[in-house]
Chain A
Amino acid sequence: MGKSCANRFAIIWALVPLALVVGMGTHRALPADGILAHWQSMWLPDADIFLRFAVDGTSWLFLLLTSLVTLFALAATAKLGLGGRAYCALVLVLEGMLFGVFTARHFIPWFLCWEMTLIPSYLLIRLWGGPGAPRAALRFFIMTLGGSVFMLLGFLALQLSVGTMDFSKLAELASNKELVPLLAKTFASTGCTGQFLLGAVAVCVFLGLAVKLPVFPFHAWLPAAYAEAPTPVTMLLTGLLSKMGVYGLLRILLPIFPEVLPALAPTLMLLAVVTVLLGAVAALAQRDLKRILAYSSVNHLGYCAMAVVAAAAVQTDRSAHAAAISGTILQAFNHGIIASTIFFCIGLMEQRSGGARNLADFGGLRARAPIFCGLMGIALFASLGLPGLSGFVGEFLIFTGVFALVPWAAAVAVIGLLLTAVFFLRLVRLVFHGPLHPACAKWPDLTTGERWLLGPAIALIIIPGLCPQVLLHCLNADTVRLLDLLHILS
């Protein structure tokens, strides 16, 4: 089977999960527990370990994102002349594992899918990446694995003392404040308090999630991996793999550890704010387009971490919590679409300029390729949070929530917003405007195929920006349930 045949097959194949996910979302006569679909099978029933998967509104949104971005990345693969049998197979395996991560309701199946994303992404970076890819792929793999080991050990402590690793059962127990006494009882011989033990478990889990997100200081793998990976893989990394971290913070850390998170929150908040600032400052210092975007992803996902930590820190203001939590999910969804769109645009630039992607290699593109610049401009402005585009909605909700919960963090993080605007505008000025760079003199504008690919992506940026209710509507019921579980009253 030839390369283009494999690519075409994979694209058509990737339409199937998209159709299924959309189909699942259309009949929205939601049952009372909010579960759209579920499936389970035995693993070790005597330890209450089941392979349990379920889709609720939030999961559904992440599934939609996964199927959209995978399809987009596969189409981009074909456009950029990459791909082949092994490549497409790995992308589809990765997609399957991501579906698992976003739907698993028990730690074991969740962790299974979480770890199994590593091998395909390692191989995709390693085998199709740039010259620095081997090192980048190795570092990516080992750092993530390191975080995961701690997460596993933490959850196994819960298994021993509580007897289950089911997310909803653990959240139920946490909601009744039973985890601390159970841990204290099991590990009485160590002489540590239950509070300390649960805190240690929470830190372990946070470590695993923080590497994926990534949160400072666990971001060291990210710039090289994003820059060296082939562009469609970078789209997957930023659009989907980083969302695993956001999803984990929201669906695992927040509901299971409310007993200890307020005590840990100041430290975590500091890390989140540093992530926001560091991402923005580092992006400002970079000249390589892919690295700029990589750091801007760090910055944007830092807002998500900040919102989750803020929601964990204070337990009073219900409307602020609702804003922070739904803002996080929207930000994750929108960032997934926006960042993969921008990376696709960078891939097109790289292809047209023969591999160059430094700021200095471009100039005055607007004159040569107005449609390309217009569409990429929309994506860039969405990324810096222009109202009316999708990026604004999530950031607005996050800042509304965080201002009410932890004012100082929001105040400091606003600097990050400003810096983001600075480096995106600089990018627009240097690349689109100014004198025409001699290397860009023969730059063709978008072909019809590329327009058809970029057009829907831009539509997905504009529509949720104009009517965010479309997305919020999926989340409300879940958010209410989460807030009830956390006993947050108005």
Chain B
Amino acid sequence: MTPAWTLISAFAGALLVLLLPARAAGLARVIALAASIIGAVAAAAACLTKLQRLDAPAWSFDKPWIPELGIRFHLAADGLSLTLLLLTGLVAIAGVLFSWNVETRPRAFFAFFMTIIGGVYGVFLSRDGFLLFVFYEIVILPKYMLIAIWGSTNREYGAMKLTLYSIGSSALILIGLIVAYAASGGTSFDLNDLASFKYAPALQYWAFPILFLGFAVLAGMWPFHTWAPTGHVAAPTAASMLLAGVVMKLGAYGALCVAMPLFPQGFVEWRLVIAGLAVIGLIYGALTALQQKDLKFVIGYSSVSHMGLILLGLATATHWGLRGAVLQMISHGIIAGLLFGIAGRVVYARTHTRDFSALREFDLWRTLPGAAVAFTVATAASMGLPGFSGFVAEVAVVIGVWHSYPWLLLPVAVGLIVTGAFSLRAMHRAFFPERHALAAPAPPLPPLTWPEISAIALLSIFSLAIGIYPLPWVTLIDDGLRSPLFQSILSLP
């Protein structure tokens, strides 16, 4: 199975679901699950093959597409893309499982869902700037639909804000790509060709922030993060999982694999600013999460905080920092999926509230012990306790920060402590609240269903597996970082 199967299975799944007759609408979720599993298995198989033969050339598929403009249909998968493909596959499976009982218009729901997944796979596989941009755009519309139709709290507002931010950021990306294309002679959109051209420093100085900002908005960089919490909260569970789990990673991935390699000198000029904004985002997200009263808002702001760590890793421009940034992309993808799944699906579908003071009356620790255990694990992973994936990423990023900006470590330490505090507080108030001894006993809640349990188990096991044995993941990421794209960044003094 080549990595192309990820792309094929997702889009074929979307198409099949759309073609289902109305009376077989119940099959939609089965098809979506099958397509997600095929994608994840293809990604996992490609990862394993890659690990066995590291020096083998990366898989690629290269055909002319619009030859007049030098645009090619160029897909390739190095170790870095493969790990992100696997992440997408996992989140897709968990997302389908957590949406197992979507009743309203299931065919449309799963078709949009699989389209987003396909677009994400496409971005991670593209090696042509234009193709990457096309896949990037494919993600935007279904995102809007999922939130506007199946969303909850304030959904029109959330959906509109998110979409406007996305479209704005795409415009910046398009401008940036076209600048690079034109300045390099207008012969090729291939990222390797674009990156190997030496742009004038003055052009890099102003073109880099445009391109970078385009991606960073989607990565939730402070102060352009405001779409993230409202969008995540408004979205239905599976969409929050996708948004926080993989769509935000598109931004980080684009910043790493497009913006930084294209304009390395511009990056050098701006990296201090990026590091500063990243640290502000890290602390601001954590402090805001500390004050939320809604469980999903806590998780939404925690994403801002965790994405700050990714951007910080990128800004260090060291091997450790980039490694940490990618590890954090994977780790946060898994953990955010888990947190949103539990908060949005397991808890909200049963209690119809996410407000801490209302949740207190449900005494979730006693009435829904499975969810309490799962959320405890997710909290531990989210606060970066060792043994979980977040810790590995944190270690790598911090080593990078020690190398490049030792004096930034004090605010980073504060950020990490506040992250621990808000994660713990959310767990404490939602699942282990202080109740009066005389309070009425909580109403019984239906226990966890099998799809929920399998999704929780899948994500927790991967988070633990990375935390306990990170070597294969790091090996794959290192393989990706050996690509010529990053050499101009990694060779910085």
Chain A residues within 8 Å of B, Cβ to Cβ: 42-46, 86, 108, 111-112, 115-116, 118-119, 122-123, 126-127, 134, 138, 141-142, 145-146, 149-150, 152-153, 156-157, 159-160, 186-187, 190
Contact = CB atoms under 8 A, between A and B. Distances in A.
B413 interface: yes
Contact of B417 (A42, A44, A145, A160): A145
B469 A187 contact: no
B183 interface: no
Nearest to A97: B387
B385 A115 contact: yes
Q: Name the 5 nearest CB pairs between A and B, nearest first.
A: A112-B386, A145-B420, A134-B434, A160-B402, A156-B398
Given A108-B386, A116-B387, A134-B428, A153 B420 contact: no
Nearest to B428: A138
Contacts of B470: 43-44
Contacts of A142: 417, 420-421, 424
A43 B383 CA distance: 21
Contacts of A111: 386
Interface string B393-421: 01100110011001101001100110011
A157 B413 CA distance: 13
B395 A156 contact: yes
A112 B409 contact: no
Nearest to A150: B413
Given A126-B432, A160-B403, A149 B386 contact: no
B365 interface: yes
A150 B413 CA distance: 7
A118 B406 contact: no
B297 to A, nearest CB: 20
Nearest to A108: B386
Contacts of B425: 138
B226 interface: no
Give chain B's interface residue range (CB within 8 Å of chain A): 35 or more
Given A134-B432, A156-B399, A159-B399, A116 B417 contact: no
A175 to B, nearest CB: 24
A127 B398 contact: no
10 contacts: A43-B470, A43-B471, A86-B369, A108-B395, A127-B365, A134-B433, A134-B434, A149-B417, A152-B398, A190-B406
Nearest to A190: B406
Contacts, number: 82
A111 B395 CA distance: 12
A153 B365 contact: no
Dominant SS among interface residues on chain A: helix
A153 B413 contact: yes
Given A108-B386, A142-B424, A159-B399, A149 B376 contact: no
Contacts of B75: none
A119 B383 CA distance: 12
B387 A112 contact: yes
Contacts of B10: none
Nearest to B376: A119
A149 B413 contact: yes
A163 to B, nearest CB: 11
Interface of B: 320, 365, 369, 376, 380, 383, 385-387, 391, 394-395, 398-399, 402-403, 406-407, 409, 412-413, 416-417, 420-421, 424-425, 428, 432-434, 469-471, 474
Contacts of B412: 153
Contacts of B391: 112
B402 A42 contact: no
Contacts of A119: 376, 380, 385
Given A108-B386, A153-B413, 18 more contacts: A42-B469, A43-B470, A44-B474, A45-B471, A86-B369, A118-B385, A119-B376, A123-B432, A134-B432, A142-B420, A145-B383, A145-B417, A153-B398, A157-B402, A159-B399, A160-B399, A190-B406, A190-B407
Dominant SS among interface residues on chain B: helix
A146 B369 CA distance: 28
A324 to B, nearest CB: 32
Contacts of B432: 123, 126-127, 134
A111 B420 CA distance: 16
Contacts of B320: 160
Contacts of A141: 420, 424
Contacts of B398: 152-153, 156
A43 B469 contact: yes
A132 B409 CA distance: 35
B81 to A, nearest CB: 21
Contacts of B399: 156, 159-160
A277 B470 CA distance: 46
A145 to B, nearest CB: 4
B234 to A, nearest CB: 30
Candidate in B395, B409, B416, B425 with the most chain A CB atoms within 10 angstroms: B395
A118 B421 CA distance: 13
A111 B383 CA distance: 15
B376 to A, nearest CB: 7
Contact of A123 (B376, B386, B407, B409): B376
Contacts of A157: 402, 406
Given A43-B470, A190-B407, A146 B417 contact: yes
Contacts of A112: 386-387, 391
Contact of A138 (B394, B409, B424): B424
A102 B52 CA distance: 36
Contacts of A186: 403
Contacts of B471: 42-45
A122 B250 CA distance: 36
A45 B469 CA distance: 11
A159 B433 CA distance: 40
A206 B409 CA distance: 17
B324 to A, nearest CB: 11
Contacts of B409: 153
Contacts of A46: 474
A123 B365 CA distance: 11
A122 B432 CA distance: 11
B323 to A, nearest CB: 10
Given A138-B424, A153-B413, A156-B402, A116 B385 contact: yes
A127 B366 CA distance: 10
A153 B400 CA distance: 11
Nearest to B395: A156
A279 B399 CA distance: 38
Nearest to A204: B413
B75 to A, nearest CB: 29
A118 B384 CA distance: 13
A47 to B, nearest CB: 8
B410 to A, nearest CB: 9
A326 B412 CA distance: 39
A327 B300 CA distance: 51
Nearest to B377: A119
Nearest to B493: A189
A118 to B, nearest CB: 7
Contacts of A150: 413
Nearest to B394: A152
A114 to B, nearest CB: 8
A42 B471 CA distance: 8
Nearest to B474: A44
Nearest to B407: A190
B393 to A, nearest CB: 12
Contacts of B365: 127
Contacts of B416: 149
A86 B417 CA distance: 28
Contacts of A152: 394-395, 398
Contacts of B469: 42-43
A142 B414 CA distance: 12
Nearest to A189: B406
A152 B421 CA distance: 17
Contact of B406 (A122, A123, A138, A187): A187
Contacts of B403: 160, 186
B392 to A, nearest CB: 8
A160 B318 CA distance: 12
